[in-house]
Amino acid sequence: MRDLDSALDDIIRLRGQLAASSRFRGLAPHVVAATGLMAFALAVWQTSLGDDRLVAWILLAGLCVCMIGTEAILRARKLHPAMAERLLTLTLQRFLPAAAAGAIAGIVVLLRMPDHARLLPGLWQLLIGVGIFAVLGNLPCRMVWAALFYFAAGATSLMLSPDPEIASRWLMGVPFGAGQLLVAGILHLASKEDDLDQER
C-alpha cells in the first residue's frame, strides 16, 4: 500500500512539473486583440464626452477579464484535454497576485486618495508587466517583449501623469490598446508556428 501511495505521489508530482513547463495555449489572439481595440474605442468615446473618469476603465477591465477567461477555459479544454485544469490553475496562481494588487490599489486610491488617481494607469501597466513575467514560463518566449512594453508604458505613464494637458483616458487607452494588440500578435505568431510544427 505504501508503494502504491508513493507511486501516486510521484505521478502527481510529475504531472505538476509537466504542467509547469508546458506552454499554455488557451489565450486566443482574436479575443486579446478585441480587448485592445476596446481600449482604443473607450478612449475615443470618453474624449467625445469630455469624460476622464477611471470607473469606465475598471468596468472595461472586468469585461475583458471575463472575455479572455471564458475563451481560455474553452480553448484549454480543447487543446490541453489532459492538463486543462492544472494549466489553468497554475496560470491563474501566477498571474493573480499582480491582478489582485492592481485591484486593491485601484480601490484604495479611488476611495481614499482620488487626487492621486492619475497614477493608476501607470501602476496598472507595471503590474500587468509583472503578471506577464510571472506566467512567462507557460507563454511563448516572445511574450517577454509584451512584458517589457508594459514596463516601459507604465514608467512613461507615471512620468506623464503630473501633466494636466494629457488626459487619463489616453494614459490608459494608448498603452493598453497597443499592449493588447502586441500580445495578440505574439500569440498569433506562436499559433502559426505550432501549426507548422504539427504539419511536419
Start-to-end Cα distance in the chain:
45
Question: Does residue 8 form part of some domain?
Answer: no
Gyration radius of the chain over CA positions: 19
Question: Does residue 6 form part of some domain?
Answer: no
Residues 118, 168 contacting (CB under 8 angstroms): yes
Question: Does residue 62 form part of some domain?
Answer: yes
168 vs 58: CA distance, rounded Å: 13
187 grid coordinates = 500569440
Question: Does residue 129 form part of some domain?
Answer: yes
Residue 19: the pLDDT is 45
Question: Does residue 2 form part of some domain?
Answer: no
Amino acid making up residue 182: L
- Residue 2 contacts by C-beta under 8 Å, 6 or more apart in sequence? none
Residue 74: the pLDDT is 87
137 grid coordinates = 514560463
pLDDT in tens, 127-179: 999 999 999 988 899 999 999 999 999 999 999 999 988 999 999 999 999 99
- Residue 136 contacts by C-beta under 8 Å, 6 or more apart in sequence? 143, 144, 147
pLDDT in tens, 2-61: 655 554 454 445 444 444 445 778 789 999 999 999 999 999 999 999 888 888 999 999
Q: Please give the share of the chain, as a percent, with pLDDT higher than 70.
A: 84
Question: Does residue 14 form part of some domain?
Answer: no
Provide the domain limits for residue 138. Answer: 25-194
Residue 21: the pLDDT is 46
Number of domains in the chain: 1
53 vs 38: CA distance, rounded Å: 16
Question: Does residue 7 form part of some domain?
Answer: no
pLDDT in tens, 62-105: 999 999 989 988 888 887 776 778 878 888 889 999 999 999 99
Question: Does residue 19 form part of some domain?
Answer: no
84 vs 2: CA distance, rounded Å: 29
pLDDT in tens, 127-140: 999 999 999 988 89
